[in-house]
């Protein structure tokens, strides 16, 4: 909270995220592992004559225009879920998290808005309540989201998540933070369409897809163990395998596959798409600053935007 020019203001934030294991599979009640990253979306609220939203985030070109209708729907859902009627406020979204596909930009904004509303209207929402409201906001973007993005954005850290009634959410602890590289394809993806495509293909070919989904479930339990004992070589193998499974269900694209190969060719421990796929971002495990810089520089030389950050 802040006071400015005599008017009451509230300011809150939500973390960006990467999904390390099992995006898409998580929709079908298979566990996934996500981590908050060091970039945030920050939302401030101040009095106004009418409800106004100003989005000052840096973006992948076209992202905000493409998502404008979804963003309006999301904001309407958040305000309704928070129990607020016709608020006369200005909501300003900014921060160092770029608005792009695959790094939880929509979830970070939903969490930041929900938290700022709680502060501004003195509602006293718990993290659990903010997470629930942000999930309602995520429906405006993704239709039937898993809930993993808003959970990572709310709680931070490394998160084990399994969709259910209720969702299973556990904080995972690792020995020390690990450097990663996130590379942006520059393609704005519609996650709801990608999720719907997986569902359609799964219904048409249940035998093939059931095997892939069983493999993904076994893999994520192995990944949890590997992270908890800090066996990064094992994590590397499992990340690479997870990307192959995501390719098999049709959610990668040639740009993501190119970035995955480029990262691995330059020494990344493991690499895979992260988020909805069909564009968006790739994440590479690059323990040590030296390796992180080597992989990031190689990707930048090919003309792609890169984030250097950590997980855990």
Torsion of CA 130, 310, 164, 207, to 10 degrees: 150
For 130, residues 6+ apart whose C-beta sits below 8 A from its C-beta are: 111, 114, 115, 118, 154
In which region does residue 184 sit, left (phi positive, over 0), alpha (psi from -120 to 50) or beta (all else)?
beta
Half-sphere exposure in the Cβ direction for 117 (13 Å, CA)? 30
Residue 96 DSSP class: S
Kind of pairing, strands 281-285 and 178-184? antiparallel
Nearest residue to 184 (alpha-carbon basis) of 297, 274, 90: 274
Contact (CB, 8 A) for 276 and 251: yes
Is 149 among the catalytic positions? Answer: yes
Marked catalytic residue, from 149, 231, 257, 265: 149
What DSSP line would sit under 215-232, residue for residue? Answer: HHHHHHHHHHHHHHTT-H
List the catalytic residues: 149
């Amino acid at each position: 909270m802040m006071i400015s020019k005599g008017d009451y203001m509230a300011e809150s934030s939500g973390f960006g995220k990467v999904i390390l294991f099992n995006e898409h599979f998580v929709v079908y009640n298979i566990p996934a592992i996500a981590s908050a990253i060091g970039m945030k979306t920050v939302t401030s609220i101040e009095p106004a004559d009418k409800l106004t939203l100003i989005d000052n985030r840096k973006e992948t070109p076209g992202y905000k225009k493409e998502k404008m209708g979804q963003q309006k729907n999301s904001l309407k859902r958040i305000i309704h879920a928070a129990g607020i009627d016709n608020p006369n406020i200005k909501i300003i979204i900014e921060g160092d998290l770029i608005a792009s596909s695959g790094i939880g930009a929509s979830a970070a904004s939903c969490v930041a808005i929900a938290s700022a509303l709680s502060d501004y209207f003195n509602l006293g929402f718990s993290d659990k309540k903010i997470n629930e409201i942000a999930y309602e906001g995520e429906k405006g973007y993704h239709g039937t989201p898993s809930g993993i993005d808003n959970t990572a954005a709310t709680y931070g850290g490394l998160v084990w998540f399994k969709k259910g009634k209720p969702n299973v959410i556990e904080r995972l602890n690792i020995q020390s933070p690990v450097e990663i590289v996130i590379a942006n394809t520059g393609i704005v993806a519609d996650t709801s369409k990608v999720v719907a495509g997986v569902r359609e293909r799964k219904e048409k070919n249940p035998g093939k897809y059931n095997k892939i989904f069983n493999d993904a479930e076994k893999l994520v339990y192995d990944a949890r163990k590997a992270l908890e004992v800090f066996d990064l070589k094992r994590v590397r193998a499992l990340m690479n395998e997870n990307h192959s499974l995501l390719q098999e269900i049709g959610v990668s694209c040639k740009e993501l596959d190119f970035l995955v190969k480029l990262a691995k060719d330059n020494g990344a421990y493991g690499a895979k798409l992260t988020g909805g796929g069909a564009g968006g971002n790739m994440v590479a495990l690059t323990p040590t600053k030296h390796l992180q810089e080597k992989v990031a520089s190689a990707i930048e030389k090919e003309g792609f935007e890169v984030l250097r950050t950590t997980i855990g």
